[in-house]
Amino acid sequence: MAQLAKMEVQVEIKSHASEFHEIYSSKVYLVPKACPEKVKSIQVVEGDWETVGSVQLWTCIIGGNTEDAKLVVEMVDDENKSVTLKVVEGEIVKYFKSFKCSTQVTVKDKGSLVTWSVEYEKLHESGPAPDAYLNFAMGVIEDMMSKHNSLTCIKIKQKMKNEKKGKCLVWKNFQAHHLPNICSDKIHKIQVHKGDWETQGSVKHWSYTIGGNSKSLKESVESIDEENRSITFKVLDGEVLNDYKSYKFTTQAIPKGEGCLDGPDPHDYLEFAVTVTKDIESHLLNA
């Protein structure tokens, strides 16, 4: 079952906190004027511009694609200068069971700090992962996709699942000792410490480079699900445990036509929010 996950990003602006909050709490119709290349239009479908329960239809450009989303104003907290919108219709609900976005503005020095957050539940099991490890995993996938024509679908799952379009691998027919040959710039060596290459409970030692740093870890094969083509590994030792009390990663291969599941990354929406924030700041400063 998919888990609720939350991601957030903060942006410092020079505008007053009350002014920025007013835009999102009661004057959101100004957003398309502030950033027309990102937000094409916002229309009231039900209610008005400021009442909780009102419904708005947003047309936006995200990742180069035009998307429509119908949002309900779920919460407006004027005291804490925060607004929460819930997506109820649009392209995004094809990939997410639930999706909420919130803004909160706090006073900071002579300006303000805007915190954008998204809380979501994917239709498939997932949850947010530390960016460095997710990017590392996606780099490995790209190498594997470029060198193996038999790939049909790979999903790297940690706390968040990022789905990469391309051809994928059926993992039970692919042993881990091949990885250093496929992506030698990322994975340098994998050795069996206990057991073998495929048995549950086996322990392997990995030497790899992530974020420009050479690291190592020892992992145990915690579970193998042949029916669902998934494998779960648990990290037992290594630098990663300096930052995390526990760390597991799961691979699952799902055939889908000639390609792979291709869902949006919540990072795209946060990046979109940051650029919109900057445009609104410019609008307020020039008003």
What is the second-level CATH architecture of the domain 4-124+266-286? 2-Layer Sandwich (3.30)
What is the rounded average pLDDT of the residues 261-280? Answer: 64
pLDDT at 9: 75
Q: Do domains 4-124+266-286 and 131-252 have the same CATH topology?
A: yes
What is the rounded average pLDDT of the residues 122-147? Answer: 45
pLDDT at 124: 63
Residue 157: beta bridge partners? 161, 250
Average pLDDT, the chain: 75
What Cα–Cα distance (Å) separates residue 46 from each residue in 42, 56, 72, 91? 12, 7, 9, 20
Q: Using alpha carbons, select from 107, 97, 81 the residue that is nearest to residue 24.
A: 81
Cα–Cα dist 197/199, whole Å: 6
The phi-psi region of residue 81 (left if phi > 0; otherwise alpha if psi is between -120 and 50; otherwise beta) is: left
Domain positions in the chain are: 4-124+266-286, 131-252
CATH 3.30.530.20 fits 131-252, yes or no: yes
- pLDDT per position as a tens digit, 84-116: 999 999 988 887 788 888 889 999 888 888 888
**DSSP states of 171-201:** GGGS-GGGHHHH-TTTEEEEEEEES-SSSTT
The answer to whether 59 and 39 are in contact (CB under 8 A) is: yes
Confidence of residue 268 (pLDDT cuts 50, 70, 90): low
